[in-house]
Structure 1
Amino acid sequence: MSAAATLHRIPRHPHAWLAWAAASQLLVLLLWWRLGWTWGLPALLLTHAAFIVPVFLPRVRLYAPVVTRLPAAGRQVWLTIDDGPSDDTPAILEALARHGARATFFLVGERALARPELVTAILEAGHEVANHTHTHPQFRFWALGPRAMAEEVGQAQRTLAALAGSAPRWFRAVAGHTNPFVAAPLRAHRLTRVAWTTRGYDAVDGDPVRVLQRLRRGLRPGAIVLLHEGARHGRSVELVEAALCLLREQGYATVIPD
């Protein structure tokens, strides 16, 4: 069985969380009825927190299955680059070629639609494109309702499928957030949610030393490495180059699950 087949985890029961939610609130009612508010109120707060906190935790599987690492036996990592395509894409492709590295580019649909030639360049260079929503609603993705969530995932999927000639297999949520409505469109488009094992916060921090220190802490065989392009600090190409040097120094090869 291929690595991709092993990792491909399409949500089977998009609304399974409802059963847990109903059971938890029945428990709250029972506690409140039998033991009063001193037990019922804390139980109410705790059960609500149990469904709210996972929204902001990228590796938690409550609302959809998620891939957090490769089942790799050797010193291999899955290099992923978010937020493109951008003006940085050509230089990043050159850096990848110099290092003999392969990557999965998690692309934003509307950005890909505006720069279709860069999608073609990514694919022609032997890399992979994946779904990173259509408009990248950074500050409100976690709060999207079912219709808006379906549009963000579905429109990006249709755009990237048309540009690439085949539908993406992987999806990365904005900031890794989820909510109760993310699983249904993933199931509809046969997408698997991908998180990460290690990140350097290179989207917000342009200092190579700090970025590499964070990346190094999470490097291990099978790690999913998260990088970005088009960051506002303007140093994304430099940071990708530095990360590639780090991987080479540590003896890691980059692979795409295929």
Structure 2
Amino acid sequence: MPAPLHRPPRHPHAWITWLSLSQLVVVLVWWRWGWHWGLPAMLLSHVPVWWGTLKPDSRVFSPVLRRLPTDARQVWLTIDDGPSDDTLAILDLLDRHGMRATFFVIGDRAARRPELIREIVRRGHTLGNHSQTHPQAWFWALGPRQLRQEIARNQSTLAAITGTAPRWFRAVVGLANPFVAAPLREHGLARVAWCARGFDAIASDPRAVVARIERGLAPGAIVLAHEGSPHGRNLEAMTLLVQRLEALGYGTVLPEDLETAEAAPALFCKAP
């Protein structure tokens, strides 16, 4: 039976069991052979935790959607960090080219500009949860209470504006520690990564951004883009990206479009 696209975590606390067992092994090694073996064993036992936290598409703690199961020249366009002053212009651009996207929005920004959130939905796009306050430097290190609040408040904010809570979640900067899985399960959220990105949140050269994204393109690729970045050139990059997608024969597709068809397991895309 192929895995569904939308997969909230089923066992969000399983990591506690294997971490506890690994530490028991460390204690035994330290007791039997001393610190010369015990210390390396302890450090090695923490590698999966760091790998799961710091690798954006790691499935150590929860399922992560990394591409869509299609052989057609279609990509899932995802746009993070809105709503912003770019939102309406991006919507107009997508309308002109007949493309749809998922906007992973920040709850506080959505609360300040609810009319943009409603406009995103009205034009046929979908919304994703990208935390309430976007604590960029520390999201990966937040504890369970803070993470639960970040995720739950975004769900409540968007549900109050649109009447429907999101189904998809993207971690801030893509990094998610073990405590993220429990609130994802609680709210029925599936985590989304990407396999084509241009670093447009910090890079201001649209041509360089699109060139990096192009290296990761493949059928079913999840494309990561941003809006409202301080350098002010996200709209230029998005315009060039849409034009390049068309030139390469790519259209856009949403996972909801594929969920009625037979789903296949999420796979890695080629790295950019």
Q: Quickly name the TM-score band, shorter chain normalised.
A: over 0.9
For 2:47, the equivalent position in structure 1 comes to 49
> How many Å apart are 1:243 and its aligned residue?
0.9
> How many Å apart are 1:50 and its aligned residue?
2.5
Amino acid aligned to 1:191: L
CA distance in 1, matches of 2:20, 2:97: 52
For 2:73, the equivalent position in structure 1 comes to 75
Show the 5 A alignment for 1:113-192.
113-192=111-190
Task: Name which of 101, 104, 124 aligns with 1:103.
Answer: 101
Count of residues paired in the alignment: 256
CA distance in 1, matches of 2:48, 2:253: 35
CA distance in 1, matches of 2:178, 2:185: 13
CA distance in 1, matches of 2:114, 2:184: 24
Show the 5 A alignment for 1:17-32.
17-32=15-30
Asked whether the 8 Å contact 2:108–2:132 carries over to 1, the reply is yes
Show the 5 A alignment for 1:189-208.
189-208=187-206
CA distance in 1, matches of 2:101, 2:162: 15
Amino acid aligned to 2:11: H
Asked whether the 8 Å contact 2:136–2:173 carries over to 1, the reply is yes
CA distance in 2, matches of 1:34, 1:251: 62
Post-superposition Cα deviations, 1:150-197, rounded to whole Å, max 9, x if no partner, equal: 100000001101111111100001001111210111111100010101
C-alpha root-mean-square deviation of aligned residues, in Å?
Answer: 1.4
For 2:61, the equivalent position in structure 1 comes to 63
> How many Å apart are 1:54 and its aligned residue?
2.2
Amino acid aligned to 1:158: S
* Structure 1 counterpart SS, 2:136: coil
**Unpaired segments ≥5 residues, structure 1:** none
TM-score, normalised with respect to structure 2? 0.91
CA distance in 1, matches of 2:217, 2:161: 33
Task: Name which of 210, 229, 232 aligns with 2:230.
Answer: 232
CA distance in 1, matches of 2:151, 2:157: 10
Amino acid aligned to 1:197: C
CA distance in 2, matches of 1:113, 1:40: 51
Post-superposition Cα deviations, 1:31-51, rounded to whole Å, max 9, x if no partner, equal: 222222221111111112321
CA distance in 1, matches of 2:244, 2:225: 13
* Structure 2 counterpart SS, 1:230: coil
* Structure 2 counterpart SS, 1:221: coil
Structure 1 residues 41-50 or 138-147, which shifts more?
41-50
TM-score, normalised with respect to structure 1? 0.96
Q: Does 2:255 match 1:253?
A: no
Post-superposition Cα deviations, 1:89-128, rounded to whole Å, max 9, x if no partner, equal: 0000011011111000001011011001101111111100
**Unpaired segments ≥5 residues, structure 2:** 257-272
CA distance in 2, matches of 1:6, 1:14: 18
CA distance in 1, matches of 2:139, 2:62: 15
CA distance in 1, matches of 2:225, 2:158: 20
Amino acid aligned to 2:103: F
CA distance in 2, matches of 1:131, 1:70: 19
Identity among equivalent positions (%) equals: 58
Post-superposition Cα deviations, 1:63-85, rounded to whole Å, max 9, x if no partner, equal: 22111110112111100000000
CA distance in 2, matches of 1:80, 1:115: 19
For 1:241, the equivalent position in structure 2 comes to 239
CA distance in 2, matches of 1:195, 1:13: 20
Runs of 4+ in 1 over 4 A off after TM superposition: none
CA distance in 2, matches of 1:241, 1:6: 32
